[in-house]
Amino acid sequence: MSDPQPPHPVPRIPEQDPAAEGVLVALAVAGDRAAFGALVERYAGVARRVAWAILGNADDADDAAQDAMLSALVKLDQYDPRRPFGPWLLRIVANAATDRRRRRSVRRSEPLDVGFAAGGPRPDATAERRALGERLRQALAALSERRRAAVVLFDVEGYSHAEIAAILGIPEGTVRSEVFHGRRRLRALLGDWKEEA
């Protein structure tokens, strides 16, 4: 089943310019440092977010995303340029994050600051956004690793269910279910936040 186009296009890196991206990949395979740097820069954000979604903390996420980028560099000659680069790279990122999670007893996210959690003082909009961010991160941390990754890939990065299935190595139906249950939990939390505010 194909996914309909979203009503509001989600900013999505892989759709920027696939042809130019193919050229960058070819140059990087040939050893062009600047081309590889451009690819890393282009995908740094999404790679770190996806790794965060799986690992649950920023430091481990950065390490995993970094390992994944280097692993991708080594495997670049195996990349099929007829396929989109983003899902290929993010599959490596997801695997690196999952491996890191298995290897280590990954610490859970830091407990939410009580002041934020209880809806403490919110002097301005910036503090309010920061508080909401903390609360969202806490809510994400309460989801399973796979559910977090599915929601982030779908609602933040704009990938289709089929692409997420390929990235996470799970059936498409499972992706739909994970996205549904994950966003329901997050929406409920955001709804509560609005009522509190």
Partner 1 sequence: MKESLSFDHRPDAALGDALRRALDPGDPAPFVARVLARADQVRAVSWDTVLARWSRLGVAAAALVALSAGYVVGRAGMSAPAAQPSMAETLLVHPAQADVGIVLASVIDN
114 SS3 class = helix
* One character per residue 55-84, x = contact with partner 1 (rule: CB under 8 A): ---x--xx--xx--xx--xx----------
Task: Answer yes or no: are the C-beta atoms of 166 and 91 closer than 8 Å.
Answer: yes
CA 14 remoteness from chain centre: 13
d(CA 51, CA 147): 13
Binding to partner 1 by residue 121, rule CB under 8 A? no
Please list every residue from 13 through 32 that binds partner 1, using CB under 8 A: 31
Query: Is 108 an interacting residue with respect to partner 1 (CB under 8 A)?
Result: no
Which CB, 5 or 105, lies closer to partner 1? 5
Structure tokens at 26: 């070819």
Nearer to partner 1, 50 or 98 (CB): 50
CB nearer to partner 1: give 6 or 120: 6
Could you give the CA distance from residue 131 to residue 72 in angstroms, rounded to a whole number? Answer: 35
If the CB atoms of residues 82 and 125 are measured against partner 1, the closer one turns out to be: 125
Query: Judged by CB under 8 A, does residue 149 bind partner 1?
Result: no
CA–CA gap between residue 139 and residue 186 (Å, rounded): 7
Shortest distance, CB of residue 83 to partner 1, whole angstroms?
22
Rounded to 5°, the CA angle 98-103-105 comes to: 95
What b/e readout covers 51-70, taking b as 16+ CB neighbours within 10 angstroms?
bbbbbbbeebbbbbbbbbbe
Please give the Cα distance from 115 to 124 (Å, whole number). Answer: 15
Query: Given the complex with partner 1, which of 23 and 136 has the nearer CB atom?
Result: 136
Interacting residues with partner 1 (CB under 8 A): 3-4, 6-8, 10, 31, 33, 36-37, 40-41, 44-45, 48-49, 52-53, 58, 61-62, 65-66, 69-70, 73-74, 129, 132-134, 136-137, 140, 151-152, 154-156, 158, 161, 176, 180, 183-184, 186-187, 190-191
